Structure 1
Amino acid sequence: MTTATRLAAPAAPAPAGRRAARRRRRALPYLLLAPALILFGFFKAYPIVSSLLLSLTTGSGAATRDAGLANYRRLLDDPLFWTALRNTAQILVLQVPLMLGLALLLAVGINSALVRWRAVWRLGVFMPAVTGLVATGVLFAFLLRTDHGAVNWLLDLVGLPAVDWLGSPFWSRIAIVLVLTWHYTGYNAVIYLAGLQGIPRELYEAAMVDGAGPLRRFRSITVPALRPVLLFTVVLSTIGTLQLFDEPYVLTHGGPDNATLTVSMYLYQNGFRYFDFGYASAIAYVLTLLVSVLGAVQMRLMGERE
C-alpha cells in the first residue's frame, strides 16, 4: 500500500501593484509627520543642541575656542549671577502667592450668585493680561515716578510720604511685584473661574445642609476641587517669574545697584552687550535646570496623591 503525499503549493506572490500600495500606506504617516518633524528639528532641536555646544566654548566669532565646563565653573564664582538669582527668588516668593491669592479671591467673587454681568467682570479682570509687556512697563514707569507720578500723588492726598519706587533697592522690587500682579492676576482669575464653574453645586448645597459656613465650604470643597488648577497656575507662574525680563528691563534696567537684576536680564547682558555667548548659554542651561527642578518639586508636592 502506498501513501501519496501531496505537497502544498507555494502561495502565489502578491501582484506588484498591491505591494506598492502597501508600501505607500506604510509611508503615509511618516510623510504626514515629516513637515512637523523638519520644522521641529530646524527651529527647536537644532538651537537647543547648538546652544549646548556653545555653552562649552568661550570667545566670539573667529576667536571662539573650546572651554569645556569652564563657563559652568565660572558661574559658581560669579557674584553678579548669585545676585541676579537672589533677586529673582525674592520676587518669586513674594509675587506668586500674592498674585494667585488675589486671583482666587477675584474668581470666587465673580462666581458668586450675587454678581451680575459676570461676563463683563470677567472681561474687565482679563484685560491687563492682553496688554503688551513693554507697554505695561512704560505705563507704570510714568505712574511710579517719584516727582510727578500718579501713585505718589495719591499717597500725598491721604497724607503719606512719597515713595522712591524706582530709585530705592527695596521699593524697586516692590514695584516689579506690583506690575506683575496687575498684569497676570486677571489671567489666573479667569482660569480659576473656569475651575469653579466645574464644581457641582450639589456639593455646596449638601455642605450648607450640614451646617458648614462659607470658610468651611471654601476649605473643604473649593480648594480640593481646584487642586489641579492650582497646580497648573503655580507651576506656570513660577516658570514665568524665573524667566522675568521685560518688566525690570523697561522699568529699572536692573537697577538701582542691581537690585532688580534677574537671571534672564543677566543672560541678556552677557549675550548681547558683552557678546559672551558661551557664558550666556551656560546661564540659560542653568536656568532651564532650575525651572525643571522647581517644576518637578511642585508637581511632587501638589500633585494628586493615591
Structure 2
Amino acid sequence: MFILLFYIPIIQGIFLTFTNATLGGTSYQFVGLDNYVWMLSNDLFVFALGWTMAFVFSVTALQLVIGLMAALLLNELRSGLKETFSAVLMSPYFSAPLAGGVIWFWFLNSDFGLLAKVASDLGMTLPAFLADGFWPYVSLIVAQAWHDYAYAAIIYGAALASVPSAQYEAAALDGAGRLRRFRDVTLPHLLIPTVIILALRTAWNVAEFAQPFELTGGGPGTRTMLLSILTYRTAFVNLSFARAFSIGVVMILLAMFAGIVYVNAIRQEEQLYV
C-alpha cells in the first residue's frame, strides 16, 4: 500500500516534469528539461526557495527552543497542575492549521484585528503586521512556531521523564547547581531527541501550506511566497501541473535531506545501546 499510494505517484509525477502536462488536460508532449530550466531561471522560484529555507530554519529553531522551555516547565510542576498546563500548552498543536491561520489573521489584521483594536483604544498605531516591511515574515514565522512547538515539547517531555533521578541526586551531592545539573545531566539525554526533532520538523515545515496561505497567501504581492504556495498557484491558478510538480520535486529533495539526518540520528541512538 505504501508503494501504491506513495512511490508510484511520485514516479508518475517526476515523469510529468519532463512534459507540458496541464491540470485537466487530456494530452501532453515530452519537453525534456524545459520545466527545470524555467524553474531555475524564474526569479520568483529563486526568491521562494530562499525564503522557504529561511522560514524553515527560523520556525524549526523557535519550535525547538519553545518546546524545550515548555517541557522543562511541565517537568517541574506537580501532578495536578501538570495535566492542566499540558492541555493548555499543547492545544495549538492539536488545532487544524487552517483554523490557526484564521485565528492569527483575526489577531494581526490591521483593519479589524484584535491588536489593531486594542492599539486604537490606547491611542497607539501599530504596523500592518501582514503587509508592512519585514512584519509579514515575522508574522508567518511566529504563527507557525506557535502552532507546532508542542511537538518538540512532547518529545522533550518524554526524554526528560526517562532521565534517572539518581543522576540528579548524585550531581546534587557533588555540589552541582541547577544550571550545572542541566548541562551535565539533562543535556546529554536530549541530544538524540534534538536531532530527531530537527529532522522531522524541518521536513514538515518545508511542506507547510494551510496556515501561511490563510495568513498572507504569499503576499502582499509575492513578498512571502513559499514553495508550497507557489506550487499551489502554479498548479491550480496557472494550471501548469508539470511545472508545479517540478517545484514539488525540489521540496521533496529538501525533505529527503532532513530524512537522511533523521536516519543517521536513529543509527547513532541504536549504537548507544549496543
Fold conserved between structures, TM > 0.5: yes
Q: 1:280 aligns with which of 244, 247, 258?
A: 244
Cα RMSD, aligned residues only: 2.4
Residue 131 (structure 1) aligns with: 95
Give the Cα separation in 2 of the matches to 1:99 and 1:160.
Answer: 31
Matched, 1:289 2:253: yes
**Deviation at residue 163 of structure 1 after TM alignment:** 2.1
Q: How does 1:18-167 map to 2 (within 5 A)?
A: 39-60=1-22, 61-112=25-76, 116-154=80-118, 161-167=125-131
Residue 188 (structure 2) aligns with: 224
Q: Secondary structure at the match of 2:134?
A: helix
Segments ≥4 residues shifted beyond 3 Å: 39-42, 113-116, 152-161, 297-306
Q: Secondary structure at the match of 1:163?
A: coil
Contact 1:169 1:257 in 2 (8 A): no
**AA in 2 matched with 1:149:** G
Report the CA distance shift for 1:134/1:83 in structure 2 as closer, same or farther (over 3 A): same
Residue 258 (structure 1) aligns with: 222
- Structure with max Cα Rg: 1
Report the CA distance shift for 1:267/1:98 in structure 2 as closer, same or farther (over 3 A): same
Q: Secondary structure at the match of 1:261?
A: coil
Deviations 1:175-204 (A, max 9, x none): 111211221122321221111101101111
Q: Give the percent of matched residue pairs that are identical in Structure 1 and Structure 2.
A: 29
Q: How does 1:192-271 map to 2 (within 5 A)?
A: 192-271=156-235
Contact 2:59 2:141 in 1 (8 A): yes
**AA in 2 matched with 1:251:** L
Contact 1:231 1:303 in 2 (8 A): no
**Aligned pair count?**
268
Q: Secondary structure at the match of 2:268?
A: coil
Q: Secondary structure at the match of 1:265?
A: helix
Contact 2:48 2:227 in 1 (8 A): yes
Deviations 1:45-76 (A, max 9, x none): 32122111111101432451001122122221
Q: Secondary structure at the match of 1:117?
A: helix
Q: How does 1:8-23 map to 2 (within 5 A)?
A: none
Give the Cα separation in 2 of the matches to 1:214 and 1:155.
Answer: 40
Report the CA distance shift for 1:163/1:299 in structure 2 as closer, same or farther (over 3 A): farther
Q: What TM-score do the two structures reach when normalised by structure 1?
A: 0.80
Q: Secondary structure at the match of 1:66?
A: coil
Q: With CA pairs under 8 Å and 6+ residues apart, which has the higher RCO, 1 or 2?
A: 2
Q: Which runs of 5+ in 1 are unaligned?
A: 1-38
Contact 1:164 1:171 in 2 (8 A): yes
**AA in 2 matched with 1:50:** Q
**AA in 1 matched with 2:196:** F
**Deviation at residue 148 of structure 1 after TM alignment:** 3.1
